[in-house]
Amino acid sequence: MTQELDLFHRDPNDLNRHVKCDFEDVLGEPDGVKSMDCVWKLSYKCFNMWRDLCYWISTLCCGICIAMCWGCEFAETAFYHVWCITPGMRLCVIQCTVFRRLYEICIDCCLGPLCETCGLLMSKIKISKA
């Protein structure tokens, strides 16, 4: 909590670049059709005013509660990973090491002599040019 909160750049990692909702990103008149300038200017002002007002009201009513829920969710996820998943994975690695060694012994005992014999048999084959 020693890091200062940047109140100007609130999405420094570009998490929500897909949520562009500026007037120019939503509305545009193609060449050949134009509304009156006063309508276009007033539409711009109304769009921005209502977008900002609705966003402010929504964040005021729900933002803190939703942030608390997400904080709890990520805390629970971190807790679960630290105390359950990572030790479980480590246990799995330890247990699998035993089974891996057992598998190597079985393969070495059963297939080792067979492969060695096949290798000796094949080493005696000579291919001559006709």
Query: What single-letter amino acid sits at 102?
Result: L
Kindly give the confidence (pLDDT) of every residue in the chain, 130 residues in length, as a single tens digit, with 9 standing for 90 and above: 567 888 888 888 888 888 888 988 889 999 999 999 999 999 999 999 999 999 999 999 999 999 999 999 999 999 999 999 999 999 999 999 999 999 999 999 999 999 999 998 888 888 888 6
pLDDT at 86: 96
pLDDT at 1: 57
Residue closest to 48 by CA, chosen among 17, 16, 24? 24
